[in-house]
Amino acid sequence: MLVVPALIWTVISSNANAFGAYRAQAVTQFKLEDKATTCAYCHVEATGGAPWNKFGQLVQIKLEGDISKALYEALEANLDSDGDGYADKLEVYAKTLPGNESSKPEQDVKTLEAAFEKAGGLNPFKP
């Protein structure tokens, strides 16, 4: 009888670890501050789970098993997921949330784009 609860706990904890691994990959690949980066990078809530924000939905669409590739392809799509006037790649570069319209870079788009290109564009974010 203890086998069923143990099995349920194993499934729940492995899912939590898998999604934690996704967050960890974003932190590493996008060169973010680990302690400051919550699940709100891709989810509506900082604790994760449904629903995903618009950037997270884009990552979901790109996800075919390799989270690092999906994260890169989401930036490569050159979209502005949250509609705040800044492409997702610029928000990642500026360390703001690409799925939250109230989180946007302090620099204007033109200045930020120039800095982004000077820093290597998407190359630093390749898996």
Average pLDDT, the chain: 85
Our CA angle for 14, 49, 53, nearest 5°, is 135
Cβ contacts of residue 34 below 8 Å, gap of 6+? 24, 27
> Residue 99 in 3-state DSSP?
coil
- What share of the chain has pLDDT > 70, as a percent? 83
Find out whether 96 and 105 touch, Cβ atoms under 8 Å. yes
For the stretch 15-73, pLDDT in tens is: 444 468 888 899 999 998 876 688 888 999 988 899 999 999 999 999 988 899 999 99
pTM: 0.78
